[in-house]
Chains A and B, each alone.
Chain A
Amino acid sequence: MSNSDLMIILIFSPMVFGVLGSALVNKNILDKFFLSFSYFILVLSSYLYYQFAYQGYEPISVLNNWISIGETKVDFYFKLDGLNAPLVLLGGILTVVAVHASRSIKDRKREYYLWMFLLISGVFGVFLSFDLILFFFFFELEIIPLFFLISIWGSGRKEYSAMKFLLFTLSGSAMMIVGFLCLYFSSAGTGTFNIDTLSSTNFEWVIPSTFVFILIFVGFSIKLPMFPLHGWLPDAHTDAPTAASVLLAGLLLKMGGYGILRICYFIMPNEAIELSEIISVFGAVSVIYGAFLTLRQTDLKRIVAFSSVSHMGYILIGISAFASNDMTFKTLGLSGASFQMVSHGLITGLLFYLVGIIYEKCKTREVSSLGGLATQFKFTSIALAISGMASLGLPGTSGFVSELMIFMGGFHKFSITTSVSVFGVVLAAGYILWMLQRVIYGELNPKYSKLNDMNFVEKIPVVILIVSIIFLGIYPKFITDVLNIGIAGIIN
Chain B
Amino acid sequence: MIPTLYPDLLLILPEIIILFTGSILLVNGVTTRSYKITHLLSIVGSFSALIAKLIIMYIYSYELDASYSSIFSGTLVSNKLESLFSIIFLVSLIASLNLIKVYKNQITLYKSEFYGMLFYSTSGMMLLARSNEMITAYVALELTTLPLIGLVSLGKSYVSKESAIKYLILSAVSTSFLLLGAVYIYALTGTTFISSATDVGINVHYGNIFHGLTYSNVNMPSDIFTPISSLDISNVIIIISMIFIFIGLLFKLGVFPFHSWIPDVYQGAPTPITMFLSVASKSAGLAILLRILLSIFEINDVSSSEWNNILKWPDIGISLSIMSVLTMFTGNILAIRQNNIKRMLGYSSIAQAGYLLIGIVAIINSDTISNATYISSVLVAYIFGYMFTNISAFYSIILIQKDSYSYKFESFSGYGRVKIFNSLILTIAMLSLIGIPPTIGFITKLFLFSSGISSGYSWLIMLALINSVISAYYYLRVVKHLYLVPSKDQFKLENFRNDFSIFGLILLIIVVGFGFYPDPIYNFCYDAISSVIN
Contacts and interface: CB of A to CB of B under 8 A. Distances in A.
A127 B431 CA distance: 23
B241 interface: no
Interface string A125-145: 000000001001110110110
A188 interface: no
B523 interface: yes
B436 A143 contact: yes
Interface in B459-510: 461-462, 465-466, 468-469, 472-473, 476, 480, 483-484
A166 B430 CA distance: 15
A148 B431 CA distance: 13
Contacts of B519: 65-68
B453 interface: yes
Interface string A164-180: 00110011001101100
Contact of A177 (B431, B446, B517): B446
Interface stretch (A69-77, A237-245, A284-292, A346-354): A69-77
Given A152-B484, A177-B446, A178-B462, A166 B437 contact: no
Contacts of A137: 437-438, 442-443
Contacts of B443: 67, 137
Contacts of B462: 174-175, 178
B212 interface: no
B442 A140 contact: yes
Given A70-B526, A144-B431, A174-B468, A166 B377 contact: no
Instruction: Using C-beta atoms within 8 Å of the partner chain, give the interface range for chain B.
Output: 35 or more
A206 B456 contact: yes
B409 to A, nearest CB: 14
Contact of A69 (B374, B436, B458, B480): B374
A180 B378 CA distance: 17
Contacts of A441: none
B522 A69 contact: yes
Given A144-B431, A147-B476, A184 B450 contact: yes
Given A69-B522, A70-B377, A177-B446, A170 B472 contact: yes
Contacts of B518: 67
Contact of A174 (B454, B456, B466, B483): B466
A147 B442 CA distance: 17
B274 interface: no
A185 interface: yes
A420 interface: no
B450 A181 contact: yes
Describe B's contact surface by its main secondary structure. Answer: helix
B449 interface: yes
A136 B449 CA distance: 14
A195 to B, nearest CB: 17
A177 B522 contact: no
Contact of B461 (A69, A144, A181): A181
B469 A174 contact: yes
Contact of B465 (A108, A174, A207): A174
Interface in A54-85: 65-72
A289 B446 CA distance: 36
B373 interface: yes
B313 interface: no
B447 interface: yes
A45 interface: no
A377 to B, nearest CB: 34
A70 B458 contact: no
B370 interface: yes
A151 interface: yes
Nearest to B445: A177
A182 interface: yes
Contacts of A138: 437
Contacts of A108: 417
Interface string B408-440: 000000000100000000000001000011100
B473 A167 contact: yes
Contacts of A385: none
Contact of A152 (B438, B469, B483, B523): B483
B472 A167 contact: yes
A273 interface: no
Contacts of A177: 446, 449, 465
B483 A178 contact: no
A163 interface: yes
A206 B458 contact: yes
> Which of A70, A171, A185: most chain B CB closer than 10 A?
A70
A148 B479 CA distance: 10
Nearest to A158: B484
B453 A181 contact: yes
B490 to A, nearest CB: 20
B377 to A, nearest CB: 6
Contacts of A140: 436-437, 442
Interface residues of A, number: 37
A366 interface: no
A167 B469 contact: yes
B458 A207 contact: yes
Nearest to A143: B436
Nearest to B467: A174
Contacts of A66: 517, 519
A458 interface: no
A67 B522 CA distance: 7
A299 interface: no
A166 B483 contact: no
A19 B370 CA distance: 41
Nearest to B455: A185
A69 B437 contact: no
Contacts of B456: 206
A481 B476 CA distance: 45
Contact of B476 (A72, A166, A174, A175): A166
A159 interface: yes
> Which of B446, B449, B466, B468: most chain A CB closer than 10 A?
B446
A69 B465 contact: no
A147 B480 CA distance: 10
Contacts of B453: 178, 181-182, 185, 206
B493 to A, nearest CB: 11
B523 A72 contact: no
B374 A133 contact: no
A68 B437 contact: no
Contact of A141 (B437, B461, B530): B437
A71 B454 CA distance: 13
B461 to A, nearest CB: 6
A106 to B, nearest CB: 15
B447 A69 contact: yes
Contacts of B472: 166-167, 170
Contacts of B378: 69
B436 A68 contact: no
A415 B476 CA distance: 47
A164 B436 CA distance: 17
A167 B470 CA distance: 8
Contacts of A184: 450
Interface in B513-534: 517-519, 522-523, 526, 530
A70 B484 contact: no
B484 A68 contact: no
Nearest to B443: A67
B110 to A, nearest CB: 43
> Which 5 interchain pairs have the tightest Cβ spacing?
A174-B465, A181-B453, A170-B469, A69-B522, A181-B450
Interface of A: 65-72, 108, 133, 136-138, 140-141, 143-144, 147-148, 151-152, 159, 163, 166-167, 170-171, 174-175, 177-178, 181-182, 184-185, 206-207
5 contacts: A140-B437, A151-B484, A163-B476, A178-B465, A182-B458
Interface of B: 370, 373-374, 377-378, 417, 431, 436-438, 442-443, 446-447, 449-450, 453-454, 456, 458, 461-462, 465-466, 468-469, 472-473, 476, 480, 483-484, 517-519, 522-523, 526, 530
Given A163-B476, A181-B453, 7 more contacts: A67-B519, A69-B447, A137-B442, A151-B484, A167-B473, A170-B468, A178-B462
